[in-house]
A and B are shown apart, each in its own frame.
Chain A
Amino acid sequence: MASIHMQKLVKKYGDLTVIPGIDLQIADHEFVVLVGPSGCGKSTLLRVLAGLETIDGGDLFIGDRKVNTVPPSQRDIAMVFQDYALYPHMTVRQNMAFALEMRGMAGDEIATRVQQAAKLLDIDPYLDRRPKALSGGQRQRVAMGRAIVRDPQVFLFDEPLSNLDAKLRAQVRTEIKALSQTLRTTMVFVTHDQIEAMTMADRIVVMKSGVIQQVGTPEEVYETPANQFVASFIGSPSMNFMPVTVEGERLALSDGHTLPGTADLARRVPEKGSATLGVRPEHLAVVPKDEASLMANVELVEPLGSDTLIHFTVAGTKAIARVEPDRRPRPGDVVPLAPVPGKAHLFETASGAIIH
């Protein structure tokens, strides 16, 4: 168990700078989730932590130890690879036992640990099969198992749940979360999945093009996103964005329609008078007609069971509202909506930075 400390960490592939310089402190026992679009350098960062990639600048500490040049085998980390990387010539059991064997653990201790992990991940029926004879999801669980049988300083997970079906994913997700609470091992977890990030993380790190956009608890990145990118990346469906200008005391959409009750927001808009308004679908409430700031012309309705998504276009931009499940407007209906007070955000038009 150990903290991780990155100081101006740089990673390049030849001329391509994938990570231009990351500063990040991960506390002991912390569960950190890295999110970001494909190709933003999540796997690369994980591989740097594991020691599989050399560092082109800055320092990396695991615990108190500077590990810039320490080989992976001596970093005492466990990693689940995006492509599983199981040993094809070994059975599931051997795959899971391998790392323990390398550490000279006694045979019966190995057997117990493998059995426990197999039970947890629901792979005990396959223990004597080769990876070739497993489905994608089963392989992924073996890869998970190979990591959790160990008792490492740090766990690194590279999208370990991406190939599981929804039910199993939810199950393994809770199990990893529970595991992290019992093991109290530092975990760095890469995912594309919103829900995984929000449910498991102590802190979320949002990345874009190798640069950290925001680090914060799930609540922080959700409630107070640092910029428009984070706001759009966290939350599903994504936050609605509309370009606005200041008209007198209020915000106005690009079609000239002014939004009642936006005096507070309007005061924050800097001199030039234009900004981007951001409202999450769940923060658009259906209100009586005379209180509405938006009259949504319903184009598409998606009943999700727990709630209903209404797709509409406002001032030329597509938007979504999440409303109560029993409300079932039809395409063509007009629904009066208003942002929940205090839940709308303003972003600078050019930089996308949030305006407080």
Chain B
Amino acid sequence: MSSLANRPSDRLIAVLDVVLLVAAGIAVLAPVAWMVLSSFKQSYEVTAYPPTIFFQPTLDNYRSLSQTTPFLQFGINSLIVTIGSTALGMLLGAPAAFVVSWTRITWPAIVTLVARMAPGTLFLLPWYVMFRQFDMIGTYSALILTHAVITMPIVIWVLLPFFDNIPRSVFEAAQVDGCNPVRIFWRIALPLVVSGLAVSAILAFVFSWNYFLFALVLSNSDTKTLIAASFNFIGEGSTNWGGLMAAATLIALPPLALSFVVQRWLISGLTLGAVKG
């Protein structure tokens, strides 16, 4: 009988779950929807109040975007910098995370985290001076290197629990089987954290893609990233809202597409379920 008595409250919780999920969904998605819709509106309609729900969609914003700006070039710049810095972050971060997990010496990881949390402006001046010295202002290398400061800590901190989750005796068995630490990393540790690698790569990609501060200062007109370039739409006098929203929509596409493609990995990775067993 008690299970029957419980049912109404169970149902209430289920309903509440749905309501909360929908509310959270609306809160998260409304701005995105607004952005996407606005990108298909005429500029004057974007700021209209109350906002128009039904309107004549137009591709004007996208058209003018490709005509007035080297949008494709910016996109390619963004891709180069993001992929480069993600790769660099993985290259440095994955072994670093493994070593931190293996040795239980955590301070290097803490240092990277602090560096990550420090305001970016802190780095700007020294970097500007430094890259000037090396004549690297406006180069992809400078952008990739600086963006690695964003990506590497993400990779380290996402991967750390994945490595920690591997039973130590598995590494020990590998040692006994004749592996040196480098081989253990390649043959045992990395294959066991593939979902972690996917998660960290995506997060690193998204954060690097969206980071504008370094590119604002260290790029030139040829190497400007999309997100840095989109600031041009916020003019001193008037702002081209439609154009900005079209740009924003396009900018948001790659991370979104990426997340969709690896959704399954992302979920299992974020819940750490894939390593067990």
- Residue numbers of A with Cβ under 8 A of B are 47, 50-52, 71-73, 75, 77-79, 81, 83-89, 98-99, 102-103, 131-132, 146
Residues on B with C-beta less than 8 A from A98 are 174, 177, 187
A73/B191 contact (C-beta < 8 A), A85-B167, A85-B169, A88-B170 known: no
6 extra interchain contacts, Cβ-Cβ under 8 A, other than A85-B169, A85-B170, A102-B177? A50-B176, A52-B176, A71-B180, A72-B172, A85-B173, A102-B178
User: In the complex, what residue of chain A is closest to B175 when comparing beta carbons?
Assistant: A72
Q: How far is the CB of B168 from chain A (nearest CB, A)?
A: 9
Closest 3 CB pairs of A and B: A85-B169, A99-B177, A102-B178
Question: How would you classify the secondary structure of chain B's contact residues: helix, strand, loop or mixed?
Answer: helix
Distance between Cα atoms of A47 and B172 in the complex (Å): 10
- Judge whether B178 and A99 touch: CB under 8 Å: yes
- Judge whether B173 and A73 touch: CB under 8 Å: no
> Does B183 lie at the interface of the complex (its beta carbon under 8 Å from any beta carbon of A)?
yes
- Judge whether B192 and A85 touch: CB under 8 Å: no
A73/B167 contact (C-beta < 8 A), A81-B172, A87-B188, A88-B192 known: no
> Does B235 lie at the interface of the complex (its beta carbon under 8 Å from any beta carbon of A)?
no
Distance between Cα atoms of A17 and B191 in the complex (Å): 37
Residues on B with C-beta less than 8 A from A99 are 176-178
A73/B192 contact (C-beta < 8 A), A83-B169, A132-B277 known: no
Distance between Cα atoms of A102 and B187 in the complex (Å): 10
Residues on B with C-beta less than 8 A from A89 are 188, 191-192
> Does B32 lie at the interface of the complex (its beta carbon under 8 Å from any beta carbon of A)?
no
Question: How would you classify the secondary structure of chain A's contact residues: helix, strand, loop or mixed?
Answer: mixed
Residues on B with C-beta less than 8 A from A83 are 167, 169
7 contacts between A and B (CB under 8 A): A51-B175, A52-B175, A73-B176, A88-B275, A88-B277, A89-B192, A146-B173
Which B134-182 residues have C-beta < 8 A from chain A? Answer: 167, 169-170, 172-180
Residues on B with C-beta less than 8 A from A72 are 172, 175-176
Distance between Cα atoms of A132 and B183 in the complex (Å): 23
Residues on B with C-beta less than 8 A from A81 are 169, 172-173
User: In the complex, what residue of chain A is closest to B194 when comparing beta carbons?
Assistant: A89
- Judge whether B178 and A103 touch: CB under 8 Å: yes
Q: How far is the CB of B181 from chain A (nearest CB, A)?
A: 9
Residues on A with C-beta less than 8 A from B191 are 89
User: In the complex, what residue of chain A is closest to B275 when comparing beta carbons?
Assistant: A88
- Judge whether B170 and A87 touch: CB under 8 Å: yes
Distance between Cα atoms of A88 and B171 in the complex (Å): 11
- Most A CB contacts (10 A, CB to CB) among B170, B175, B176, B188 go to B176
Residues on A with C-beta less than 8 A from B275 are 88
Residues on A with C-beta less than 8 A from B178 are 73, 99, 102-103
Q: How far is the CB of A49 from chain B (nearest CB, A)?
A: 11
Q: How far is the CB of A141 from chain B (nearest CB, A)?
A: 15
User: In the complex, what residue of chain B is closest to A103 when comparing beta carbons?
Assistant: B178
Distance between Cα atoms of A85 and B169 in the complex (Å): 5
